[in-house]
């Protein structure tokens, strides 16, 4: 099996072998002069995935070596490897044309991430792959990951997505966006204008997949005036609600995140109409649903960023048809999501281990990724009290 530096890349050779394509590139272009190289790449990737479906050693079922307490990294990398649009983006080398020209020489993180993904999906054997080259790059981007201490998987995910986005941002130079007053617009118009302003600076494949928009409504208890703010989000950190039964649902956690909070005492904000500090109520709703919804279950208490305790509450989450209509902003479309990956934390704050459960996008079956070991599991095993970060993919929505 090749090393990371020798990893495969999915490219179309000048003369594709007959075994790879049931036709010749010249024949295709003779029949359709407008055919592009990207179409040939798409065909090749499609054949690769079809081959995986019919193969006993399907691609994407390769483990990652633990380099020394790097299970947190391996867990997230396997979840992202099974994010099928991000996987295809890497397999097709689409990142090469998106690399920010102003920092192309510094785009080593995206390059190594793509190489690692390609190796996971083109490896002919079952031997685990070393992510050492990738680790070298992520710790250059985020020095907190230097060394071999156990780290938080959700925190690693945020840094990784931010680093990948920065390197393939389609916006060069990040122009300064002037501050505009949108208070005269309706909430839907204001949300759309704020989203477009965000894209004027932050626009990438990573944003296309992972970023949504939250609406925060602040209502004055004195005069009833309601002000709204719209902010992008990459994931939602959900508090775990507590019930006497010891089991809660994922919707219980989202309700706790979005419930109205009363801001009083020292927390009183200034009402824009009253022009003075007033008791207010604050509420979150989802204005724009992302294609990939990442939900982080807040199992750890972290006073001073030191984990002191862990909640092992069983959160019952749906594998299919997570309906978020209840949490959408007024007049926003509903959105239904299907689960495809889970990052698990096993153990306590004193000693823990990360694994991943992922649904292989080529086979549609669930697998357990425990560092070097990959094994099939049934869908009934996916839910557990170890679930820490949930990855959902948008199944249907009347507005994207």
Phi, psi of 390 (to 5 degrees): -105, 135
Least Cα distance to 182 among 200, 195, 164, 171 occurs for 195
| Structure token pair of residue 161 | 């997505």
The helix/strand/coil state of 335 is: strand
Cβ-in-10-Å burial (0-12, 13-18, 19+) of 56 comes to: exposed
Q: Which residues are catalytic?
A: 71, 353
| Structure token pair of residue 361 | 């996008």
DSSP letters for 41-107: HHHHHHHHHHHHHT-SS-TT---B--SSS-HHHHHHHHHHHT-HHHHHHHHTTTHHHHS-GGGGGGT
The contacts of residue 135 (CB under 8 Å, 6+ apart) are 67, 70, 73, 145
The contacts of residue 191 (CB under 8 Å, 6+ apart) are 213, 215, 228, 230, 287, 288, 329
- 378 to each of 54, 153, 250, 339, 358, how far by Cα in Å? 20, 24, 21, 14, 11
| Structure token pair of residue 269 | 């904000």
């Amino acid at each position: 099996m090749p090393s990371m530096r020798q990893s495969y890349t999915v490219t179309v050779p000048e003369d594709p072998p007959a075994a790879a394509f049931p036709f010749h590139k010249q024949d295709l272009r003779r029949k359709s002069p407008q055919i592009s190289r990207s179409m040939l790449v798409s065909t090749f990737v499609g054949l690769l995935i079809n081959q995986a479906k019919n193969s006993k050693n399907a691609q994407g079922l390769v483990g990652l070596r633990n380099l020394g307490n790097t299970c947190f990294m391996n867990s997230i990398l396997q979840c992202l490897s099974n994010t099928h649009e991000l996987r295809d983006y890497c397999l097709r080398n689409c990142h090469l044309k998106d690399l920010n020209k102003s920092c192309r020489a510094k785009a080593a993180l995206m390059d190594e991430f793509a190489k690692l993904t390609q190796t996971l999906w083109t490896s002919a054997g079952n031997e685990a792959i070393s992510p050492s080259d990738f680790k070298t790059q992520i710790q250059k981007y985020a020095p907190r990951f230097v060394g071999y201490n156990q780290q938080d998987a959700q925190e690693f995910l945020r840094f990784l997505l931010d680093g990948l986005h920065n390197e393939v941002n389609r916006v060069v130079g990040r122009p300064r966006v002037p501050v505009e007053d949108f208070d005269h617009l309706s909430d839907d118009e204001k949300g759309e204008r704020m989203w477009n302003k965000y894209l004027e600076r932050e626009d990438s494949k990573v944003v296309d997949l992972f970023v949504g928009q939250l609406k925060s409504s602040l209502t004055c208890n004195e005069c009833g005036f309601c002000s709204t703010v719209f902010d992008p989000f990459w994931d939602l950190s959900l508090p775990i609600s507590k019930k006497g039964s010891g089991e809660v649902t994922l919707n219980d956690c989202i309700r706790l995140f979005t419930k109205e909070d009363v801001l009083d005492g020292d927390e009183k904000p200034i009402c824009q109409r009253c022009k003075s500090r007033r008791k207010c109520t604050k509420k979150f709703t989802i204005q724009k649903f992302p294609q990939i919804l990442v939900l982080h279950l807040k199992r750890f208490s972290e006073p001073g960023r030191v984990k002191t305790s862990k909640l092992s509450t069983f959160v019952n989450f749906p594998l299919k048809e997570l309906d978020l209509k209840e949490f959408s902003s007024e007049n926003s479309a509903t959105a239904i999501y299907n689960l495809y990956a889970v990052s698990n934390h096993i153990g306590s704050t004193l000693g823990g281990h990360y694994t991943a459960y992922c649904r292989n996008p080529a086979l549609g079956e669930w697998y357990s990724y425990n560092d070097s070991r990959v094994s099939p599991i049934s869908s009934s095993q996916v839910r557990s009290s170890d679930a820490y970060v949930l990855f959902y993919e948008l199944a249907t929505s009347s507005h994207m």
